[in-house]
Structure formats: C-alpha cells, structure tokens
Amino acid sequence: MTTPKQSQDASPESRSDCSVAVKGVSHRHVAVSEVVEWQLPEEEPTALVYNGRSFAVMLASPADLEDFGLGFSLAEGVVESAAEVDDIEVLRLEAGLAIRMTIPNIRAAALMGRGRAMEGRSGCGICGIETLEALRRPLKQVRRPDVAPDAIAWAFQQLNDHQPMRARNFSVHGAAWCDRLGQVLLSREDVGRHTALDKLIGAMSQAGVDNNDGFVVMSSRCGFELVQKAANVGIGLLASVSAPTTMALSMARQVGMSLAVSAKANAVVVLE
C-alpha cells in the first residue's frame, strides 16, 4: 500500500480536537446566569470513494480520515487486506470531505451491488443498507485472547486519558487498542462509535498490529455493527462502557467473540 496522502485543502482533518467554540448562557439558578464558551464537536459529511465511484457518505469527525478510509474498507469487507488499497487521498469538496481510494477492479465491481442508498448517520452503523439480508452477512470466526479481567478494568481506567477530543467537547466516542495486560497502545475518536472503531482499525493496520494479541475497549455501548466490524478483522474481545444489545451478544457468540462491560466499583463483567 502506498503512503496515504492528504490534500492541502483538507487541512482541518489534521486538527486533534475537532471542536468549535460557541457562545452560550449558563443558568445555575433562576436569577444567576453568565455567558460561557462551549465546545461543540465537528461533524462533516464524508464520502468514501473507490476507483472514482462513491460507495457511502458517512457523518464523521474530520480527524484521522486516512485511518477511517482504510479501517472502513477492512471492517466492511470492501478489501481483504490493507495491501489491496493502493492509495488514499483526502480532499475537501464544496459539499464536504471525500476519501478517495484505489482498489483492485474485482473488488470495485463487487461493490456495485452493495451501494448504500443514503447517508450514514454518526450514531448508526447501518443507515443506507438496502436489504435486511445485508445485516446478516457471513462473519469470520475469531479467537478469544487470554486477557484477565483486571487487564480490562485497567484499560477502562486509561480510556479518558487517550481521548483529547472528549476532553474538549465531552461529546465524542473513543476506541482504543490494548495489549493483553490492558495497556492502551492506540486510540481514535469520532462522533460516531462505529466510525471511531473504523479509524482505530485503520490505525492498527497502518501500525502492523497483530489483531489476535490484544483487545479493543470503547467508550460507548456495544451495538451489533461493532461486533461485525471487529469480527471482520479478527478481534476476539470487545470491551465497552455500556452493555451490549441482545443482537450484539448473539452475533458475538456466533463468531466466538467475548464481550466485556464496565460495571460499578471498577468491576468488569465478561459475557461469553
């Protein structure tokens, strides 16, 4: 895979906090108010373009977009490996941002029947899917890593320290890759939980991470789309701050994945 490049016009993508300051009025009591500065997370329509054809438009925070493009491609099964993505270019267009990628023609042809009919919202990983059958696409079996509950708890404790965007606007999700001892090694953020995971998967691929030798911890609840993405790239343990949905747990069981949840008093619940 060639080195990703970025258009100069896409310079906002390099900002680490992706926040915009706005004025508001703080009301502490009925008779006490003051003007304050509040940070709002940026969110922009971002097109994923393969071989010149737009496949999907997602709403995302304009940071780490090369990682997003690569991670989305892997997690959604557009390509089988990062080596199949020959180039990634981030461009700013009049209507938003575009991540242009070049993939083998056989992969591009396979996308013709998978196009999304509408944009993907930041809070949903399935918007625009045209058929119910697309939700049940075959998933790869994964291998559960040998990770102690204490390691998962340690990862949860570190997560906030690896979310610079959240420190500014308190409104985004974080996804982090941890080793078997629970040490956070990589992290990415986005307004959408599934997009944060896409970005993390892309960063892991760029770093040459062994996806079987650790686990992912996330600041959100665990929806089934997170299980799908994790399974597609061989992640065997997914830990989330909030409990998974029943559909997520059922899907995790089908592929052999463990799900873990943060509980009170720094406890960890592992669901298998």
For residue 264, give the CATH number of its domain.
3.40.140.10
Establish if 28 belongs to a structural domain: no
Provide the pLDDT confidence category of residue 136 given band limits of 50, 70 and 90: low
Reply yes or no on whether the pLDDT at 132 is more than 50: no
- Report how many domains make up the chain: 1
Q: CB under 8 Å to 8, separation ≥6 — which residues?
A: none
- pLDDT per position as a tens digit, 82-129: 999 989 999 999 889 999 999 999 999 998 766 554 444 444 544 444
Burial environment of residue 45 by CB neighbours within 10 A (0 to 12, 13 to 18, 19 or more) = middle
Q: What confidence score (pLDDT) does residue 140 get?
A: 86
Provide the pLDDT confidence category of residue 144 given band limits of 50, 70 and 90: very high
User: Angle at Cα 45 formed by Cα 42 and Cα 49, nearest 5°?
Assistant: 135
Reply yes or no on whether the pLDDT at 63 is more than 70: yes
Reply yes or no on whether the pLDDT at 27 is more than 70: no
Structural domain that includes position 229: 149-271
Establish if 76 belongs to a structural domain: no
d(CA 122, CA 95): 17
d(CA 220, CA 241): 6
Tokens coding 91: 């461009």
Establish if 75 belongs to a structural domain: no
Establish if 192 belongs to a structural domain: yes
Establish if 251 belongs to a structural domain: yes
Establish if 180 belongs to a structural domain: yes
Give per-residue burial for 206-223: e unless 16+ CB within 10 Å, then b. beebebeebbbbbbbbbb
Catalytic residue among 18, 124, 178, 222: 124
Establish if 101 belongs to a structural domain: no
- pLDDT per position as a tens digit, 214-245: 999 999 989 899 999 999 999 999 999 999 98
Establish if 37 belongs to a structural domain: no
Three-state DSSP at 198 gives: helix
* Annotation marks residue 124 as catalytic: yes
Classify strands 53-60 and 44-50 as parallel, antiparallel or unpaired. Answer: antiparallel
Half-sphere exposure of 244 (CA within 13 A, CB side): 30
37 or 181: which carries more pLDDT confidence?
181
- Average pLDDT (14-23) is 66
d(CA 103, CA 218): 29
N-term to C-term CA, the chain: 36
